[in-house]
Structure 1
Amino acid sequence: MSKELSPVFDTTLTLIGQFQEALATPPPAPTEPAKDADALPLLTASSSALKAHVTKLSLLAITTPFTHSAVATILRELNEAVLPSLVTAALLVTPTQYTKAFHSEVLVLAKTAFTELHGLVREVRRVGEGKDQEKKDGVKERDVTKSEKDAVMLATGRVWDACDTATDVAGKGVVGFVMQRVEQWRDLVRDAVEEIEDWDPEEEGDEFFDEFSDEEGKGADDDDSKDDDEDETAALEQHKKSTLRFIKPLALVYPAIINNRLKNAGNAPLAAEGGVKKLESLMLNLKAIPDDVDEAAGALYEADFEKSTQYLQKIRKCATQAVELVALPWDAVDSKDDTTADKFSTWAKTWLKVIDEVSKPTGKITE
């Protein structure tokens, strides 16, 4: 490697390592929110710049002749401007202003971009070293091999993917990020509801009876066994109906919150007093529900009605808290000020009454 280019490669790889360490141990959030309104535009700009630079770098690497000065120029631009901007943008996305979940997501994306860039820089350096060796051997410079080209392009594609993902997340912003997560949890709940609907307790009972009837033989207790089996199937069917009767209204929480409190909300949730904390709590509650629904369904399939009811209690608590958190618009000053109520506020009151009503048959699904 030439005396001009080798130190630049070393600097790039060293900086990448240092920036990854900085992202792994970000400084504590300030007690007073900083004015970091430019964090997401900076993240978008730096991600786009990184993608553009690695595109140039990869083309220089696979094109004959291998131009040391051009490669050095790209690397210096990365070192002096692009990489510092990317790490700065990621660190400016603080949990106090952007939620812990969004903060963690951006850190992961930035670290991924640095990791993939590290791999690309090593591949480009490997190509350059091969070219230098040819010169030393007095061999005419050849085109890069297919394996070299594939390695460079594969590494480049990975950096592109990391940059595109970071740009997409920055473009959607915190509320868009939260909405995407809520949509994912909504789909999980819908899938669980469909699975419960498709489950047939009678077929399961028949399989159990068929499996053991021949081994046990036919005797005087056959009729009693069949009666017991029918009673168990009837109990499963009843609990299936009551579970669905409870979970279906719950599943409506997700689209209602998405359409009325997240979609087209802009920066209202972040600008509102306590808005970030409210988003945090909203996510925690809505995230917990799909797992609890799965647990309740699993207990139902095993005829463990007490365990199933316990999880339904947890589901109701999380769903109720989520609805109450956003019952009023984001700009409502007082959580009890009904003068700011809107259409969703009315829906929330009705929904809470419905949940109370559907909980009555079991006598157990209460907070």
Structure 2
Amino acid sequence: MPPKPASLRTLLDLTSTTLALLTHFQSSLSPTATADASIPPPPNPLQALKACTSLLKSHTTTLSLLLLTPPLTPSAIITKIGDVSSGPLTGLVGAAVAEGELGDLMQAEVKVQVRRLLGAWGEVVGCVVRLAERRKKLEDEGGAAQAKKDDGPTEGERQAVLAATGVVWEACDALVKLCDGGIAGLVVRKAEEWRSVLLDAVEELKEWGDDVDDDDAEEGGSDGEFGDEDEMFGAANKLGKEDKELKEVLDKSVKKLKMVGVLYQALIKRRLKTFPSISPATAASAKGHKNPMTTLEELMKLIKSMPEQVDDLASAFYDLDADEAKTMLDKCCGEAKSAATLVKQNWSGNDDEFTAWSTKWVDALNAP
């Protein structure tokens, strides 16, 4: 006797447990979550992530076709959802929570992207729920014979399935790109973003300083009782002709911060792009030299902190506080020198072109 076909009720029950599983997985990937000891980490997390992501994309494509092609077949959809839950979803989470394998920065980025992918997959499961509920309603109202006459999803349902599938594909492609770029690709991208933020802030400071005499040169230029908006709200933090000390600090700051921007370029080219591609958990560093991953984590913290300090520096200038501006400039330059010194030697602990260049750069930054 052939087995009884899977029912829509069974399918709906499965979607309910699947959505609950996704919620659990997403919670395990939150920034404050602790590692789940029940999920064993893979030997190479990035390779595992890429393999699981490619498999999930393939399964999603097949499931999408099942949903769009009438009649709705609960047994085939149940099998596909089960394959995804027990295979790529579990694998993705296991790789994302692998402690000590990816480094803090990479692991945080992986968790963000895997959470996004889980959320996208949940939208696909939501499409399954809506189609199954509509089909079940037909059965309840007219019996199985009436349900068999179902012409498939409505145009709105078709578009929802296609849209949800597209979001999964985009999330999969982004995660595969992250894996292909590896840790070096990520840190280079982050460093370029932070350098851009730093230089934008420097340019704003320069423009603020260049604007010093614009309003002073136009005496009596206000219109009416209250004048213009700049006069009303900007006069308090305008740099006036008499603020010679602050202007000197500003010029010095712009000059030195541009040098920090040059340091970013050198670090990206000579250190971040050359970061070893071997697993950081098993990276063999030179004798007497720190593990490259430990050094990289320290370097990225310094690179990230400098744009934040430039924001504080800008606030000091806008408050017309020369002493605070000097303090913040010294702090930012100190962080920059620490970054240059930290990776003065290459990842193998040897001198190279950057070693000599960084010494000259520090001397130039220390100059008045």
| TM-score, normalisation: structure 2 | 0.81
Tell me which moved more, 279-288 or 49-58: 49-58
What's the offset of the Cα at 1:208? 8.9
Equivalent in the alignment of 1:315: 332
Name the SS of the counterpart of 1:117 in structure 2. Answer: helix
Cα distance in 2 for partners of 1:281, 1:315 equals 16
- The equivalences for 1:71-90 within 5 A come to 71-90=77-96
Cα distance in 2 for partners of 1:230, 1:180 equals 39
CA deviations over 1:195-238 (Å, ceiling 9, x no partner)? 2333324345528965789989xxxxxxxxxxxx9642655543
Cα distance in 2 for partners of 1:248, 1:210 equals 37
Report the AA paired with residue 18 of structure 1: H
What's the offset of the Cα at 1:10? 3.4
Note if contact 2:249-2:326 (Cα within 8 Å) is conserved in structure 1.
no
Matched residue count: 333
What's the offset of the Cα at 1:186? 0.9
Q: Percent identity?
A: 30
Equivalent in the alignment of 1:9: 15
Report the AA paired with residue 158 of structure 2: K
What's the offset of the Cα at 1:65? 1.8
Q: Is 1:345 the equivalent of 2:362?
A: no
Report the AA paired with residue 342 of structure 1: D
Q: Is 1:26 the equivalent of 2:34?
A: yes
Equivalent in the alignment of 2:342: 325
- Equivalent of residue 60 in structure 1, options 43, 59, 66: 66
Equivalent in the alignment of 2:173: 164
- The equivalences for 1:114-263 within 5 A come to 114-138=118-142, 139=146, 140-199=149-208, 200-206=210-216, 210=220, 231-232=241-242, 234-263=244-273
Closer, same or farther: CA 237–14 of 1 in aligned 2, 3 Å: closer
Note if contact 1:269-1:275 (Cα within 8 Å) is conserved in structure 2.
no
Equivalent in the alignment of 2:302: 285
Note if contact 1:239-1:300 (Cα within 8 Å) is conserved in structure 2.
no
Equivalent in the alignment of 2:3: none
Name the SS of the counterpart of 2:46 in structure 1. Answer: helix
Equivalent in the alignment of 1:365: none
Equivalent in the alignment of 1:69: 75
Closer, same or farther: CA 210–89 of 1 in aligned 2, 3 Å: farther
Tell me which moved more, 196-205 or 241-250: 196-205
Note if contact 1:268-1:331 (Cα within 8 Å) is conserved in structure 2.
no
CA deviations over 1:7-60 (Å, ceiling 9, x no partner)? 43234223323323433433289xxxx995421100011111111211221222
Report the AA paired with residue 106 of structure 1: V
Cα distance in 2 for partners of 1:299, 1:43 equals 45
What's the offset of the Cα at 1:261? 0.7
What's the offset of the Cα at 1:87? 1.4
Equivalent in the alignment of 1:266: 276
Q: CA RMSD in A?
A: 2.8
Cα distance in 1 for partners of 2:219, 2:329 equals 29
Note if contact 2:212-2:241 (Cα within 8 Å) is conserved in structure 1.
no
Closer, same or farther: CA 213–134 of 1 in aligned 2, 3 Å: closer
Cα distance in 2 for partners of 1:28, 1:17 equals 14
Closer, same or farther: CA 230–263 of 1 in aligned 2, 3 Å: closer
Equivalent in the alignment of 2:229: none
CA deviations over 1:51-83 (Å, ceiling 9, x no partner)? 121122122212222222221221121122122
Cα distance in 1 for partners of 2:357, 2:71 equals 68
Gaps of 5+ in 1: 217-228, 333-339, 361-367
Closer, same or farther: CA 15–149 of 1 in aligned 2, 3 Å: same
Report the AA paired with residue 70 of structure 1: A
What's the offset of the Cα at 1:180? 1.1
Name the SS of the counterpart of 1:26 in structure 2. Answer: coil
Cα distance in 1 for partners of 2:34, 2:224 equals 66
Equivalent in the alignment of 1:364: none
Cα distance in 1 for partners of 2:89, 2:106 equals 21
Closer, same or farther: CA 75–298 of 1 in aligned 2, 3 Å: same
Cα distance in 1 for partners of 2:348, 2:165 equals 45
The structure where helix makes up a greater share of residues is 1
Tell me which moved more, 185-194 or 6-15: 6-15
Cα distance in 2 for partners of 1:45, 1:26 equals 24
Cα distance in 2 for partners of 1:246, 1:187 equals 16
Equivalent in the alignment of 1:223: none
Cα distance in 1 for partners of 2:78, 2:219 equals 76
Cα distance in 1 for partners of 2:241, 2:101 equals 56
What's the offset of the Cα at 1:239? 3.2
